[in-house]
Amino acid sequence: VGFSNKIWRTKALEILMITLRFISFITKSNFATSFKLINKNVFEIIGDVSADFTYYLLKNFFKYEKPTGFQKGQHFLNQTLLIPLRKTKLLKIYCGNQKLIMRPESLASIWWNIYILTILNINVLYVSIKIAFKFDEQSQDDFYQARQIIFDVLPSYSFMLEILLKFNTCYYYKGAVIENRYQIAKNYLRSSFFFDIFVVIPYFISLRFDLQYLDLVIILKVFQITKFSRNLFDRLELTAIQIVIVDLVKLGYTILAAAHFSACIWFLVGSTGNPNDTSWIKAQNIENEQWFNQYLHSLYWSIITMTTIGYGDITPQNLRERVFAVGMALSAVGVFGYSIGNINSIYAEWSRQSFQIRTDMNNLKKFIRIKGINKHLAEKIRKYFEYVWSDQMEDNDSEVYKFSEMIPKQLAEEMKIDTNMKLIQKNSFLVNNFSEQFLISLTKVLIEEKYVPESTIYLQNDPSNYLYILSNGSLSFYITLNNKQQTIKVLETIKNEGQAFGVLEFFQSQAYQVSCKSNQFSYVLKIDKSQFMEIISQHKNDY
């Protein structure tokens, strides 16, 4: 009678009985048994947001679903390390401080990558040669301590510092920069942290306690050389010629590194066998030679074998050496074939560009012949295009600027404001006389134009319809003397990025007092006077 709901007034007892039966049903053991048979798919279908499948999985609640070793290790790491760390103020300070985060494209990051890449290459080669030839045991010379510091102590601390820096270097995900420290740490832990720890810690221990052969783990770092070099060269702006040179240097280094490791193993095979057996070292009578002479013999054999020349003056003398020589020969065929293929690809790319220039030059000669142009003018035209094409070969602007058409509109707008604002900020006249809001509006409407060498930007006495800002290149200002030869006298040359020119005439509505031309491929930003006045009228403080 006291219920306001009609259903409860008429069927209250029936509802209570159903509820009691349900409670009794779920408390029986058969429900618990059925729950243990649930797998992850069924759990997700139920969709109970208040329950966590991972929690039940790690507690071994299910009969058939069991946690993997990785999940157990991850859970143990969370419980013993990460969760206690999250409760400390230190982690809150670390995650909340964004000041010490390095960007991958920053100058400090680039120089650090160069340093680590240099240290890594030198150390990998040094450790392998030290283990194979044991030269530190042979010669405790005056440079021994300095060598220990440069090749042992410095790399070990550098690699440990590299781990710390990776926790403080942001990364890019789907084109967006991730600066959150928790996400940075999580990304590094998932990618290469455990590999770095596995390599660096044993290497550090081997140096501290002088454990022989344990420092060989640093050779595993050779797999990261490619990644480091790719990250470094991705951030450097290289011309086509420089890219070819870098590719050739990398290829040469790969061949020499392969020969070096083969030489070290070849000497180890010959020096660590049965002392009573004949070896190639005994056959060459270099057992008591200096380590460098022994290394040259080993490297000589390695290179001769890799190049499939095989003079036969150094040959395997026992079964161990023959087995290694067979494996070395098979590996060398692949390395040498890979090297030849890469050299052909690099040469083909270089030849393609040269062939295109030669083809264009022949077509130009035909054009000059058909038009019947006199020899002196024809030579000037030919030399001009020689310069243009050679410059384009070194820095292909059409290939570079094609990316501006592929960038999304919003991102392109941000890029335009950023690049134009950097140029404007170099101009003291604009910065000192106009507000930042006006300058930002100005950056959005500036138009960039490319001028080829010797092309005219404006002539003397032309109306000053545009305000110009040099983006890149070199410009000359000149006047034409009224004499018989119409002599051109250059008054000034500018190369400074962000420098405005034609400013006085633009604001005083006068004709240009001098002429302006481009000395090389130059990029100039400009804005029409009517558009400039329209923007400034929207900013009353600047009007």
Please report whether residue 102 resides in a domain.
no
| Residue 40 vs residues 29, 36, 285, 421, 456: alpha-carbon distances, Å | 21, 11, 69, 54, 73
Q: How many domains are there within the chain?
A: 2
- List pLDDT tens digits, range 319-366: 888 898 888 888 877 777 777 777 777 777 666 766 777 787 788 888
- List pLDDT tens digits, range 487-530: 788 888 888 888 888 888 888 888 998 999 988 888 899 988 88
Rg (CA), the chain: 36
- List pLDDT tens digits, range 410-448: 777 788 888 888 888 888 888 888 888 888 888 888 888
**pLDDT value at 143 more than 80:** no
Average pLDDT of every residue of the chain: 78
Please report whether residue 265 resides in a domain.
no
**pLDDT value at 95 more than 70:** no
Domain stops at, among 236, 258, 286? 236
SS3 378: helix
Partners of residue 494 on adjacent β-strands: 475
Instruction: Collect contacts of 263-267 with beta carbons under 8 A, ≥24 apart.
Output: 263/132, 263/295, 263/298, 263/299, 263/301, 263/302, 264/128, 264/129, 264/131, 264/132, 264/133, 264/298, 265/132, 265/324, 266/298, 266/301, 266/302, 266/324, 266/328, 267/132, 267/133, 267/294, 267/295, 267/298
Residue 202 belongs to domain spanning: 107-236
Sole residue written with tokens 């400009």 = 526
Q: The CATH number of the domain where 429 resides is what? A: 2.60.120.10
Please report whether residue 124 resides in a domain.
yes
Sole residue written with tokens 């040959």 = 315
pLDDT recorded at residue 313: 85
Those residues whose C-beta lies under 8 Å from the C-beta of residue 360, and which sit 6 or more positions away, are 385, 389
pLDDT recorded at residue 401: 54
Please report whether residue 120 resides in a domain.
yes
Domain stops at, among 236, 258, 281? 236
Please report whether residue 192 resides in a domain.
yes
> Which percentage of the chain shows pLDDT scores above 90?
2
Diameter over CA atoms, the chain: 121
Residues 167, 234: Cα–Cα separation, whole Å: 21
Sequential DSSP letters for 208-272: HHT-TTGGGGGGGGHHHHHHHHHHHHHTS---HHHHHHHHHHHHHHHHHHHHHHHHHHHHHHHHS
Please report whether residue 393 resides in a domain.
no
Identify the weakest region by mean pLDDT among 31-40, 236-245, 470-479. 31-40
Q: Which tokens sit at 361?
A: 């030059």
Domain stops at, among 218, 236, 254? 236
Sole residue written with tokens 């020349």 = 309
pLDDT (average), residues 139-156? 72
Please report whether residue 32 resides in a domain.
no
Residues 346, 243: Cα–Cα separation, whole Å: 10
Q: Which tokens sit at 105?
A: 């494209």
Banded model confidence at residue 405, pLDDT cuts 50, 70, 90: low
Banded model confidence at residue 374, pLDDT cuts 50, 70, 90: confident
Please report whether residue 525 resides in a domain.
yes
Length of the chain: 543
CB neighbours (10 Å) of residue 358? 10
